[in-house]
Structure 1
């Protein structure tokens, strides 16, 4: 698996297959690059070079004590693009991977980008009177301790989570290694930093086309976040995937594959 050394001397790994216009896939909290295996073949068949990125503390990448913040992950993404010398890139991020994209855009703009796709990530996780599309139950009053509770992710909303053994088998048949999620207390500062962000001003300032996708039955937030986010920018549009929870590229991989290839075709 190829790798590069980020600007703070952290070794980060990625997968790189196919040829054509590049698409970079960035997974969510705890998930490895292999979690995108069901999207690899459709994107390659559509004529794309497909690069799946293991963020620090994810997959095969290094696990340093430093850099547990979304801004550093945005810089790591910039370092990956610089290492590969890429332009005309479509960035695709699921969950915290989407926040990594917004961090990159906030820091470096859209000059290298052909487009942006986010999968089931609200731009503001804290609920407020002007943004009721955050994480279920998360408010400014309980933000400091909310994710320290083991039951925080059991919101009582959405569809059942996909069976891990069955999902791993599907990913392996598609060429991946399975999910192999790694979430430890070392990464809690990253999750807290993620929850504190508000990317709405970043979305409003994008200069590349964007597709904001939600799972109709997300376990974490109302699917209406996608349409509300898309309204922030004239370059953004939204879609909701039926019968899909938060990991919608695992729940409905064929639908997500079509959304991705249809979107990249419009930015060619």
Structure 2
């Protein structure tokens, strides 16, 4: 565990375990590096070096008033990889973290990167626009911001116990431990950073970023994702990427790296080892 300081003075917390080929994990909104524990232990035991950081405004990292956008997120990731002098790295991003990985690869190049995987990821674009008619209306995300500002604790509890893990589906087996861990991570972060982050993950258009990426990318997405709907995300990202493999999971929710960790970890390992 350690920290780096970015060029604009933000302290970024990270975990760094083991040796071997590095895997760098980028977490989803509004969570932290802790959300990757199930993957980090798994890949550590398979001989990889595993690294995960808390995004600015999240977890144990610094809480600047501004800079909660994809360019800063990508620049922070670049600063971390440079500070650790990583080469041949594999980048894995979940949800907002998938957007962070895509923007990092497009903005900072692939010289340090071997492969990437994006899981339940926000690219190409979440919000509905004239050119993206299948996106979610902006009012949905405005509502997220309003709920966060009014009662963040309640809003986060309702997300975790409902659509994030699909616990609201008929017959779903809910887990209080998973719900509380999600809530714990969310409440560790900064309300302002999370509020601004909603705009970052929903309104950033990654179309041109995806076109620039040439490394192999595994696109993993559940078709029952209630947070980032499948049809307008994973298949479109895979089509825009030069060298993508699309892996679709029938019935899996947005938070599938946690609730279906055994399946996701095995498929990731197969991709990374190929």
Kindly report which structure 2 residues correspond to 1:133-212, keeping only aligned pairs within 5 A, or say none.
134=135, 137-139=136-138, 142=139, 145-150=142-147, 159-160=166-167, 163=174, 165-167=176-178, 179-182=184-187, 185-187=191-193, 188-212=195-219
Q: Deviations over 1:27-68 (max 9, x none)?
A: 111111111111122212222100011111112111121221
Mean alpha-carbon deviation: is it higher for 201-210 or for 183-192? 183-192
* 1:214 corresponds to: 221
Is the Cα contact below 8 Å between 1:133 and 1:221 reproduced in 2? no
Pairwise CA distance, 1:261: 0.9
Task: Please list every run of 5 or more consecutive structure 2 residues that lacks an aligned counterpart in the other structure.
Answer: 148-154
* 1:80 corresponds to: 80
Distance change >3 Å, CA 42–CA 237, structure 1 → 2: same
Is the Cα contact below 8 Å between 1:241 and 1:255 reproduced in 2? no
Q: Give the superposed CA RMSD.
A: 2.8
The answer to whether structure 1 residue 240 and structure 2 residue 237 are counterparts is no
Pairwise CA distance, 1:252: 0.4
Q: Deviations over 1:103-155 (max 9, x none)?
A: 21221122211111111123100134654553xx425xx4783433438x979
Is the Cα contact below 8 Å between 2:164 and 2:255 reproduced in 1? no
Cα distance in 2 for partners of 1:167, 1:145 equals 26
Higher share in helix: 2
Cα distance in 1 for partners of 2:143, 2:192 equals 17
Distance change >3 Å, CA 219–CA 11, structure 1 → 2: same
Cα distance in 2 for partners of 1:221, 1:144 equals 12
TM-score norm. by structure 2 comes to: 0.83
Cα distance in 1 for partners of 2:245, 2:91 equals 15
Pairwise CA distance, 1:191: 1.6
* 2:117 corresponds to: 117
Q: Deviations over 1:158-190 (max 9, x none)?
A: 822685632278x8xxxxx99521365412122
| Matched residue count | 256
Mean alpha-carbon deviation: is it higher for 25-34 or for 221-230? 221-230
